[in-house]
Amino acid sequence: VALPTKIWTVGSLLSWATNDFQSKNFADARLSSELLLASALKSDRVGLYLQHDKPVEESVRNVFRRLVEERRRGTPVAYLLGEKEFYSMSFTVRPGVLIPRPETELLVDEVCGWLTERRIQKPRICDVGTGSGAIAVTLKNKMPESAVTAIDISEEALGIARENATKHGVDVEFQKGDLLDEVNAKFDCVVANLPYISEEEYKSLSVEVREFEPKTALVSGNTGLELIEKLVAQVGRGNRSDAIFLEIGFGQETQVREIMNRNDFVKIKVRNDYAGVARVVSAFKGTSDGA
Ligand SMILES: C[S@@+](CC[C@H](N)C(=O)[O-])C[C@H]1O[C@@H](n2cnc3c(N)ncnc32)[C@H](O)[C@@H]1O
């Protein structure tokens, strides 16, 4: 007598994967399961709830099982889905480019807030270390009148950033370069989320980050501050802009303030992220009103 085969529904698949991820101590076990199943079903998370008791056909179950297995090995969900939401927009991501983080949205907010306050009509913005293009594309999308230049040292990242600009129908000028070495123009502001992790700190990052995300997008020398220091000097002493907006790492506020002061920036503003960590530093020259 054939045993009745279990009927796998949307609901039971979600419970199975959630339990599995929880047993491995993955954060966001339920959310990850939902995103992966929605992707296998070519649906969205709301769709899952509408189909909760619906049986799932074998071909979809096989796709889902493969995604769950890769997640178990540590592959970030965003790479499995090929996309990550940033500022309510979907950005294409693949291994080779950093997955944009929610705290970086604060950096975008600071830039937009300042440009709006200053009523700069057609701002020239430069995003250094653009990665997936998350900052550059979001800024251009929010401020269509702006002229946005985006730079990265990684050809692979630039390719993905270009895809994201096309996806969102915005015109951003992408350039390959080491910080501002290849760029002569002046800008109303320079914005950057550069690598800011030290070699030592890198060793303590999760396997998920170390094994899957590009090291060149994360690590900046022995102190973590090498790239920030070089860029601030290029922008400040090098007179490339009177305003700079940076994302910084845990515990770097004091040193970054000093770097700013050494490079002609006089007004400095620091914004904390949702965890209360100093995360965004905005700095302005004397001529620029950063109030
Ligand atoms: C922390 S990621 C940020 C990516 C993106 N801006 C974001 O916020 O999601 C840093 C980026 O800087 C790039 N990068 C590293 N060193 C660089 C350099 N010397 N010049 C330009 N870009 C650099 C990396 O390739 C990576 O894409």
Cβ atoms within 10 Å, residue 247: 24
pLDDT score at 288 = 61
User: Ligand 1 mean position to 27 CA, how many Å?
Assistant: 26
User: Ligand 1 mean position to 10 CA, how many Å?
Assistant: 39
| C-alpha to C-alpha distances, 17 to 29, 34, 216, nearest whole angstrom | 8, 9, 32
pTM of the model as a whole: 0.94
Q: Whose CA is nearest to atom 5 of ligand 1?
A: 131
For 14-47, give the DSSP string.
HHHHHHHHHHTT-TTHHHHHHHHHHHHTT--HHH
pLDDT score at 27 = 87
Q: Which tens digits make up the pLDDT trace of 119-158?
A: 998 999 999 999 999 999 999 999 999 999 999 999 999 9
Q: Which tens digits make up the pLDDT trace of 264-284?
A: 999 999 999 999 999 999 999
10-23 and 29-40 are packed helices; what angle lies between their axes, rounded to 10 degrees? Answer: 140
Q: Which tens digits make up the pLDDT trace of 14-44?
A: 999 999 999 999 989 999 999 999 999 999 9
Binding site membership of 178 for ligand 1 (Cβ less than 6 Å) = yes
C-beta of residue 228 within 8 angstroms of C-beta of residue 259: yes
User: Is pLDDT above 60 for 290?
Assistant: no
Binding site membership of 150 for ligand 1 (Cβ less than 6 Å) = no
Binding site membership of 129 for ligand 1 (Cβ less than 6 Å) = yes
Query: Coil, helix or strand for 201?
Result: helix
Q: Which tens digits make up the pLDDT trace of 174-227?
A: 999 999 999 999 999 999 999 999 999 999 999 889 999 999 999 999 999 999
Q: Residue 253: which of 228, 222, 221, 216 has the closest Cα?
A: 228
